[in-house]
Structure 1
Amino acid sequence: MTLHDTSTPICHGQHLVLGQACLEVASSDPYNTLQLWAQADECYKCPPWYYLTLAPNTTHTLPVNTTYPTTITITNEEGRDLYKLGYHFDLYGNYHLLLDTHGAQGVEVTRQPESEVLPLVTAILFFLLLMFMWLCSKFLVRRMDSPVTARQPEDNERSPLLSRRPQDHSSVLSDQLSDPQPSTSQSSTSQPSTSQPSTSQSTSASIRHPDPVPLDGRRESGRLRSLDAFRGLAIVLMIFVNYGGGGYWFFKHARWNGLTVADLVFPWFLWIMGVSLVFSIRSQLRRATKRIIIVARILKRCLILFALGLIVNSVGGHNYMPTFRIFGVLQRFAICYFLTAVIEVYSMNPQESPEYVWYWKIRDIVRSSPQWVFTLVLLIIHATLTFGLPVPGCPMGYLGPGGLHEWGMNRGCTGGAAGYIDRVVVGRSHVYSHPTCVTIYASNTPYDPEGLLGALTSVLMVQFGAACGRIITTYQTHRGRWSRWLVWALVTGLLAGFLCSWRKEGGLIPVNKNLWSLSYVLCTTCFAFILFTVFYVMIDERGWWGGNPLRYAGMNSILLYVGHEICGGLFPWSWKPVGQHHSNHLIMNLWATSIWIAIAYLCHRRKLYLSV
């Protein structure tokens, strides 16, 4: 499919668009008038939509959805079901369905559908080829330079695990740029260390030392490359998803229950924020900074983040005050950061006692028990409000999307208690009016996925990230770290599975990004621990990869997030696709994402970092 091809199949007099196919329905019944009803299987417990009426011996065509499997119901004029069939149509295919007195004869393909996988596979192979060419060019440059000088490269896969960073940068989304992350040098033992804290506060690049450096004895000024790369992956995925994700359904948020690639990004950012705030607060406390001053800095950052979130909400002309949206992504960051960081400030002991105790192998958990108790209290409040708060006109503990859900019995109950609280606190007109459930469930009730009640479970996500950070600052061996991360991944994954009963619909607490349900937080936490472990082993332990170019994006994530939100509809980041094919959208979205990676690289080269 060429870039300039604008032709798509015509169905019922109109060109099809992404996510559609054409179905021709023919009735050979000479006596009965038939009615066709259909509904996407994604719409759980929903009544079917009426599509058309077939007079005897007539034929009709209609566009059908290709994103989800569809259930087609044929009834007579009295509404009695005659037969049903399910089918998953493919993009831009032509299909024929014959109905006669004996029932439906099955769906026949009359025009082969377009491959949805081919553009994605082509894009992956293209970027792998670029990566290979880049690595080959670097190898050739090294080979040409090595006889002349023993130059030490500053920023590539052979550079030290801790790299140079500018002084006095700090940010929540940018990993608190002012606060040094712990050295990734591995100690020869995990026994208690008796070394004294270093008083050096130099911000020069760390130099690899032949002797291991115990984490609880000395802090190096630098970056944990795997964390920067993980953050970079999250921001790159977020940009790609927000720009359209090539038109693929799995790069869009789930309509209600369920999990897609797009649903992983936001919670990963919260998890990463938890990791980095441990380093930030520990560093400040070790410099003997008063706790009240640290809290004041935290409050300042939160206010700036909340204000930035309001500015982002106004992009695109959405600045009409009577309907201005209050909540958003950065606002959720601000709330969760404040709740987690303040309790961390007053509960953290920056100087770990080297004395052996019976809980030595889980001392990171035991010594952070106040933080976990505080988080548990928030979860109890969340559960009490979710399942015990009376919502007018809605069943107690309702977790559905409203609209057509449960046969349309709870149309105005979108989000249950979570949606009701937001509509009461900030007003119905200031709540997000286009939730993801609108398309499938036809709900017209405003609902904000970044509302107040979901912030309570989001704190748990940040706390799990903080647990990862405490493991890094507590245990000195690589194996001691990633083995504990994998245990956390196993525990959170199993808990998530039990809560949702290992299925998408019908569990006690379904995996739901809109509600930020407990199972959703645990599930995404599991993925975060696993993926970060992979990055840590590859980058910081084995040194197989330096984390580039994801690391460039991760070191300037706040700039990329705000920038892509403001510039999203502008050329050269976006334009009207010249064809309704995945290839057209994929080229545009990957190009826009690549521009932001290039901007991050240029900023890194010039030591420019946006922080709050």
Structure 2
Amino acid sequence: MADPGKMEEGLAHEEGAPDQERKDKRDGKVEKEEDGAADRIGNDKEERVATTHVEQQNLEEQPLVKQKTKRIATLDAFRGLTVVLMILVDDAGGAYPRIDHSPWNGCTLADFVMPFFLFIVGVAIALALKKVPKIKDAIKKISLRTLKLLFWGVLLQGGYSHAPADLAYGVDMKQIRWCGILQRIALVYFIVALIETLTRKRRPTVLEPGHLSIFTAYRWQWIGGFVAFVIYMITTYSLYVPHWSFVVDNDDEATRYTVKCGMRGHLGPACNAVGYVDREVWGINHLYSSPVWQRLKACTLSSPGSGPFRENAPSWCRAPFEPEGLLSSILAILSGTMGIHYGHVLIHFKGHFERLKQWVSMALGLLIVAIILHFTDAIPINKQLYSFSYVCFTAAAAGIVFSAFYVLIDVWGFRTPFLFLEWIGMNAMLVYVLGAQGILAAFVNGWYYESSNNTLVYWIQKHVFINVWHSERLGTLLYVIFAEIAFYGVLSGILHKLGIYWKL
């Protein structure tokens, strides 16, 4: 059977009879040595033809690239950076609202977390699925991983867990939240990975020369992303949004508020199609009850931080909104598509310069598109709506950061300073569950003295950080960095030494 590596480079030749035997056949030098020799020769020929046919079938079932490559440390480091950013903005965002999610238009540090997750999921899909030769096995793997993400998403963000502050647990099924971070990752992973698997046989064996050949070779992935883009854009700008109402429970009384809309193509908080789709599909009681738009100046005097509502605040300030909703998750598929493109470049281009040229040029192009769309007010950058300019801007940022990590870690070999990010990236799911979702902190808080506020976690945060630095903001930031992020870095390092990994 031909060497797969040579085959991919266009250097392999079809195998048949040995060279000398083919030469003997051409020269007429194959002689009969005994009776029945002709039959044996005929049988041998049939066996060789059958063997060649089987080998050709096996080659057709091979992935586009089948070769051993060393592990790219940048992948784990980038994944670890994303988890670290999530912990930082979740636990220190209250003290520093500027790094918390943008209340509406614009982009802050927290707004990079979700698209960074989807980007690295896309990169990982390209590398992982090429190692699964059978389509049936790949689909099974994709389905099981999707179900696992959905299960953990609903369990951790559906309202069942009240960690880390509240030691109670349980959720009213009338109020359960169906959407969330892991649910969005599951959807994007399922669609992008399924396209990657089902189009395997439609790709050329060898890339044609040219800068755009990588795009044409994986045209079906980009067609999938384009379909998601079309569905999002048509729905966002053409769907009619009627008036809608909601109920807010205040102690023993319930107040009903009405939001007047009756329009199409609105990109503000009140009457956008993204929120309307979620209200119709999931029901308004199953949406996120504390959206970040509550920190807008129109809603509170404490903007950009959280605070009491203005007396004349619009009614929609109190309404629920799902930041990981259905329509916005459809466009999020495009973030995964851009990530898988970077993975394809990593597979096909072996030179550092060629990889970086592909990555950086695409990132700069996306950045230019995002800036033009945002500053002309055509499509503002908006995480809550997951706008197209937001997809382009965050994908560009992810591409630039990924390229920088690649140069520092895999090209120049500065791996030691980023080891803790690698370790966290190798156990991203574990750190997400224990840290970002506060499960470990809730467990520690369960061992309290006299009062549930008198726990080791609160004592360390107050006496070791806040009181020492005489600043709640600075103390909170240092606590997050040293008592949370550093702790999970050490824990992940220990698990790495033990060979234990639990990724997203």
- TM-score, length-normalised on structure 2? 0.72
- Which of 219, 222, 227 in structure 2 is aligned with 1:372? 222
Pair 434,246 (structure 1): closer, same or farther in 2 beyond 3 Å: closer
The yes-or-no answer on 1:256 pairing with 2:104 is yes
Residue 553 of structure 1 corresponds to: 424
Pair 381,497 (structure 1): closer, same or farther in 2 beyond 3 Å: same
Query: One-letter code of the match for 2:494?
Result: L
> Larger strand proportion, structure 1 or 2?
1
Query: One-letter code of the match for 1:385?
Result: T
Aligned length: 382
Shift of 1:352: 5.3
Aligned-CA RMSD value: 2.3
Within 5 Å, give how 1:238-387 maps onto structure 2.
238-245=86-93, 247-285=95-133, 289=134, 291-313=135-157, 314-316=160-162, 317=169, 319-349=171-201, 353-354=205-206, 357=208, 359-387=209-237
Alpha-carbon distance between aligned partners in 1 of 2:406 and 2:348, rounded to the nearest angstrom: 16
- Which of 361, 380, 390 in structure 1 is aligned with 2:240? 390
Residue 596 of structure 1 corresponds to: 488
Runs (4+) of structure 1 exceeding 6 A deviation are none
Within 5 Å, give how 1:206-217 maps onto structure 2.
216=65
Alpha-carbon distance between aligned partners in 1 of 2:441 and 2:12, rounded to the nearest angstrom: 51
> Larger helix proportion, structure 1 or 2?
2
Alpha-carbon distance between aligned partners in 2 of 1:383 and 1:230, rounded to the nearest angstrom: 30
Shift of 1:611: 5.0
**Which range is displaced more, 264-273 or 293-302?**
293-302
Within 5 Å, give how 1:163-202 maps onto structure 2.
192=9, 194=11
CA contact (8 A) 1:327 1:450 kept: yes
Residue 399 of structure 2 corresponds to: 529
Residue 246 of structure 2 corresponds to: none
Report percent identity of matched pairs.
Answer: 31
Residue 287 of structure 2 corresponds to: 431
Pair 533,433 (structure 1): closer, same or farther in 2 beyond 3 Å: same
Per-residue Cα deviation, 1:560-596 (whole angstroms, up to 9, x for no partner) = 0011112345455556645663222112212222111
Alpha-carbon distance between aligned partners in 1 of 2:336 and 2:287, rounded to the nearest angstrom: 24
Shift of 1:523: 0.2
Query: One-letter code of the match for 1:334?
Result: A
Shift of 1:361: 3.4
- Which of 406, 429, 440 in structure 2 is aligned with 1:567? 440
Residue 516 of structure 1 corresponds to: 386
Query: One-letter code of the match for 1:493?
Result: L
Query: One-letter code of the match for 1:311?
Result: L
Shift of 1:303: 1.0
Bigger relative contact order, structure 1 or 2, given CA contacts below 8 A and separation 6+?
A: 2
Shift of 1:545: 2.7
Alpha-carbon distance between aligned partners in 1 of 2:502 and 2:350, rounded to the nearest angstrom: 32
CA contact (8 A) 1:193 1:217 kept: no
Shift of 1:508: 1.4
- Which of 487, 502, 505 in structure 1 is aligned with 2:361? 487
Pair 526,292 (structure 1): closer, same or farther in 2 beyond 3 Å: same
Residue 584 of structure 1 corresponds to: 475
Pair 385,246 (structure 1): closer, same or farther in 2 beyond 3 Å: closer
Alpha-carbon distance between aligned partners in 2 of 1:549 and 1:350, rounded to the nearest angstrom: 40
Pair 527,573 (structure 1): closer, same or farther in 2 beyond 3 Å: farther
Shift of 1:277: 0.2
Shift of 1:245: 4.1
CA contact (8 A) 1:489 1:525 kept: yes
The yes-or-no answer on 1:539 pairing with 2:396 is no
Pair 351,329 (structure 1): closer, same or farther in 2 beyond 3 Å: same
Alpha-carbon distance between aligned partners in 2 of 1:318 and 1:454, rounded to the nearest angstrom: 28
- TM-score, length-normalised on structure 1? 0.59
Pair 330,305 (structure 1): closer, same or farther in 2 beyond 3 Å: same
Shift of 1:535: 0.6
Alpha-carbon distance between aligned partners in 2 of 1:450 and 1:315, rounded to the nearest angstrom: 18
CA contact (8 A) 1:245 1:589 kept: no
The yes-or-no answer on 1:606 pairing with 2:498 is yes
CA contact (8 A) 1:193 1:216 kept: no
Pair 216,195 (structure 1): closer, same or farther in 2 beyond 3 Å: farther
Secondary structure class of the residue paired with 1:543: coil
Query: One-letter code of the match for 2:237?
Result: F
CA contact (8 A) 2:153 2:180 kept: yes
Unaligned runs of 5+ in 1: 1-186, 197-214, 403-412
Query: One-letter code of the match for 1:601?
Result: G
Query: One-letter code of the match for 1:445?
Result: A
